Amino acid sequence: MKIWGIIREAFTFSDLSRGERIGLALLLGAIAVFPWVVKDGFARTVAVQFLYYAMLGLSWNFIGGYGGQIDLGGAKNVGFGAYGVALPMVLWDWPFWLGLPIGVAFAVLESLVLGLGLLRLRGHYFAIGTLAVALVWEELFVYSEWTRGARGLLLPFKRAPDYLYMQLTPVGFHYFIAALFVFSLLWLNWFRRSKLGYQLRAIREDEDAAASLGINVLAAKVKAYCISSVVAALGGAFYAVYYGFIDPDSVMHLDLSIMIAMTALVGGAGVLWGPIVGAAVLIPLDRYLGAWFGGGGILGMDFLIYAVIIMLLAAYQPKGVAGLIEALVLWRLKATGRSTAGLRAVGGR
């Protein structure tokens, strides 16, 4: 019966403000009808990429947002998920659904083992440590002959739609990533009001105080780190079949780790809908800017813009869009002379 409790909790959004619930409902509705309304191929790929990055941002929120542990190596789990699907498919012609558990299991196992070490580190040390671990994995995948190194893996082509190998039509892929996105959202929604979620927020605010209250700090952090790796690996598995080609540059690179943390930071780290807003701002901006600049654009322009955004947010508004909204609400209440006592934090409890 416990499982029903968890599912009920995952679908409970009652602590969010009315505006937030309406926004979420509108978003889900828009995702559901999108392929029927929009026929433009480019807009459809942007929508898929938005859902993909939003999902990865949600995965970051478990450990980075609610836990306050700045993970700068999120790409490695995406890579494990992608290679878990792609490698057996290329080598032995295994279907998607056999490769998926392998990739996810590897991501969890790796996060468990390394997490037991990494998560003893605090603050900067953890951030640098995750960066180092991700760089080691990237190098190993680049130089290992078994993973086909930097040449990458081209998935065998099947006739779409093929549900065994998950090679779908564009509309099929839209609903596939939408389902994964909703699953991640529900998981994070359960997580933030679970015991584990409260433990992580306590750790984020003051690790020593959390430990003195009897929280097993390391165990809690490792659990959240592993959950985060599952969600990221699912995203990676999707990426492999969606693009049909992966290499260390596309699924393990530092740039991807940065993007993952960025989506959460821009929207609001530690806020349920933060990564969704972050991806909604960043992905269309990036894809349409890239399309406008075309091939003759300035190299690395997108990351130059991200860098400015990161610095401005860090200096002025570390809570991103969520922080801006909070400040705005507070300012309006004060301007109209109303009490701010009953004010709820943005993004629920």
Partner 1 sequence: MDVVLDIGISGVLMGLVYALLALGLTVIFGIMDTVNFAHGEFLMLGMYAGYLTYAYLYPEPLAGVPVAGLVGMLLGVLAYTLLVKRLLSGPPIAQIFGTFGLMLFLRYGALAVFGPNLRSATQGLVVAKRLVVGGLTLDAAKVVAAAGSAFLFGLVYLMLRRTKLGLALQATAANREAARYMGIDTDRMNLIGWALGGATAGMAGALLVNFYYVSPTVGMVFSMITFTTVALGGFGSVPGALIAGILVGLIEVFTAQVISPQLKLAVIYTVFFLVVLFRPRGLLGAR
The footprint of partner 1 (CB under 8 A) covers 68, 70, 72, 117-118, 120-121, 123-125, 127-129, 131-133, 135-136, 139-140, 142-143, 254, 258, 261, 265, 269, 298-301, 303-304, 306-311, 313-316, 318
Look up residue 135 and give its amino acid.
L
Instruction: Find the helix or strand (DSSP H, E) in which 246 lies.
Output: strand 245-246
Ramachandran sector of residue 214 (left: φ over 0; alpha: ψ -120 to 50; beta: rest): left
Beta carbon nearer to partner 1, 24 or 310: 310
CA distance 270 to 109: 25
CB 309 to partner 1: min, Å: 8
CB 315 to partner 1: min, Å: 5
Residue 238: CB partners within 8 Å, gap ≥ 6? Answer: 52, 81, 176, 177, 180
Beta carbon nearer to partner 1, 29 or 149: 149
Beta carbon nearer to partner 1, 240 or 264: 264
Beta carbon nearer to partner 1, 129 or 197: 129
Residue 13: CB partners within 8 Å, gap ≥ 6? Answer: 20, 21, 24, 189, 348
CB 65 to partner 1: min, Å: 9
Beta carbon nearer to partner 1, 143 or 163: 143
Beta carbon nearer to partner 1, 311 or 330: 311
Residue of 270, 233, 214 lying closest to 70 (CA atoms): 270
CB 303 to partner 1: min, Å: 4
CA distance 107 to 232: 9
CB 141 to partner 1: min, Å: 11
Residue of 297, 295, 181 lying closest to 238 (CA atoms): 181
CB 226 to partner 1: min, Å: 18
Judged by DSSP in three states, 159 sits in coil
Q: Is the preceding omega at residue 161 within 30 degrees of 0, hence cis?
A: yes
